[in-house]
Amino acid sequence: MNRNYLIPILLILSGCVAACAQDPPPSEKSRVDARYSLSIIDDATFYGNRSEPVPEVLNQVLVEPSLSIRSHGHLTVSSSLVGLADTYSDNYTQLRVKETYAGISAGDFDFTLGRKMVRWGTGYAFTAAGVLDPPRIPTDPTDRLNLNEGRDMVKADWVRGPHAFSLAWSTAALAPASASLRDTTAFRYNVLVRGFDTALIAGNDRGGDPFGALTFTRVLRQAWEVHGEAVWRQEAAVMLGAKYTISGITFVGEFYTPPNIPYYSYMGVPQAAGRQHYAFMTAGKARLRERRGWKQWGMSGSVVANLDDRSYTPIFDGSRWFGNHFSSYVHVDIPRGTKTSEYGAAPYSAATSVGVRFQL
């Protein structure tokens, strides 16, 4: 038998055996819990001074239903889809599967099979340790249109006291070719020690190099949180960040330095450029409740910079809620730098997105 398929098969078999061996607590035997949500977004992006002969307006309509059913306290089936209709140089529609998975919970074990988003990295705008996470996009770290997709995987988790162990095998067979993913086997150990939420991650990409990572987060005093990642994959990558809260305003700063190897390849950065250094800063307030009439407004301003080629992108986000179901937003990014730099190479001088969102 091919050794690459041994781990997923063992994970599936052990999940079935453990689930059969355990009964749910009596109080949860008849419990079936179904939850759903629906989000519809209409987003228009206006590009300023395009350097290519393409339309200056991109219109997108997204319909995002999700359904989760939890039965008998230990069986979960969940699906989250995105239907996308683009109007740009031509029209196209696409169905994306954000997540679709089945989970079995048995005693201290949880088993998952399907497409699932995991969140192992601790960075807000950058991560090197989140080997199975959705990609972080520093100019849109909140994934405004919810377009991130999970990885197709078999995963087993074992939780005992403050310790959590995860073993995952992810296949790249179903991923879009443009994602340039590989089959990944990864292990994670997470523990909370003296307020440090710490994780050790190790694994291997099929046909690639093995990797290892250490992540942590820690709250300091009343207003500070610090987080970081140290990763080894051919060479070291480091991310350090902090969050500070004052008067309801949250500031996040991150410094990130990855090696310039194909795994961390970035658009516009030549291979000869060597190790890259990035900085990210954001300040935001989710609700301007102190100002009369502004309670439903949220604002944030950010900047992401490549410190080596001195290119940067200031970003502004504003949002407003109308009742419990409708909201609107504006997102502006203004890349700056020379034409050969990472952010300056963007084929427009400014991108302004406005949208309305309905949530059920």
Partner 1 sequence: MSRINCVLRVFLLLFLIGFLLTCVLVSRAAPATPDAEALLKRSDTFRNGWASYVVRVKITDFESGRPDEEHLYEVSQKGTDKTYVNFMSPRQKGEHLLMLGDDMWVYLPDTSRPVRITPLERLTGDASNGDVARTNYAADYSPVFLRTEKVGTVECYVLNLTAKRKGATYQRIVYWLRMPDARPVRAEFYLISGKHIKSATFDEYAPSSGKELLRKLTLYDEIRHNSHSVLEYSGAAPRSLPDKLFNQGRSDMF
275-294 mask for partner 1 (x: CB under 8 A)? -----------x--xx----
Is residue 352 within 8 Å of 330, Cβ to Cβ?
yes
Q: How many residues bind partner 1 (CB under 8 A)?
A: 68
The answer to whether residue 161 forms part of the interface with partner 1 (CB under 8 A) is: yes
The answer to whether residue 118 forms part of the interface with partner 1 (CB under 8 A) is: yes
* Spatial separation of the C-alpha atoms in residues 358 and 42, rounded to whole Å: 9
Give Cα separations from 304 to 54, 127, 138 (angstroms): 26, 14, 7
Neighbours of 25 (CB within 10 A): 10
The answer to whether residue 81 forms part of the interface with partner 1 (CB under 8 A) is: no
Neighbours of 111 (CB within 10 A): 21
Q: For partner 1, which is the closer residue by CB, 97 or 345?
A: 97
Q: What is the β-pairing status of strands 350-359 and 326-333?
A: antiparallel
Task: Work out which of 8, 138, 141, 337 binds partner 1, going by CB under 8 A.
Answer: 141
| Site residues (CB under 8 A) for partner 1, limited to 13-72 | 25-28, 37
The answer to whether residue 308 forms part of the interface with partner 1 (CB under 8 A) is: no
The answer to whether residue 295 forms part of the interface with partner 1 (CB under 8 A) is: yes
Q: For partner 1, which is the closer residue by CB, 120 or 343?
A: 120
Neighbours of 173 (CB within 10 A): 8
For 28-96, what is the HEC assignment? HCCCEEEEEEEEEEEEEEEEECCCCCCCCEEEEEEEEEEEEEEECCCEEEEEEEEEEEEECCCEEEEEE
**Cα angle 132-156-146, degrees, rounded to a multiple of 5:** 35
Task: Work out which of 15, 121, 203, 355 binds partner 1, going by CB under 8 A.
Answer: 121
Task: Work out which of 44, 58, 159, 273 binds partner 1, going by CB under 8 A.
Answer: 159
Is residue 236 within 8 Å of 259, Cβ to Cβ?
yes
The answer to whether residue 130 forms part of the interface with partner 1 (CB under 8 A) is: yes
Piece in contact with partner 1 (CB under 8 A), picked from 113-121, 174-182, 309-317, 328-336: 113-121
- Look up residue 24 and give its two tokens: 């749910």
The answer to whether residue 100 forms part of the interface with partner 1 (CB under 8 A) is: no
1-20 mask for partner 1 (x: CB under 8 A)? --------------------
Is residue 86 within 8 Å of 108, Cβ to Cβ?
no
Chain residues that interact with partner 1, rule: CB under 8 A: 25-28, 37, 103, 105, 108, 110, 112, 116-124, 127, 130, 133-134, 136, 141-144, 146, 148, 157, 159, 161-164, 166, 188, 190-192, 195, 197, 199, 217-219, 221-225, 227, 243, 245-246, 248, 250, 286, 289-290, 295, 321, 324-325, 327, 359-360
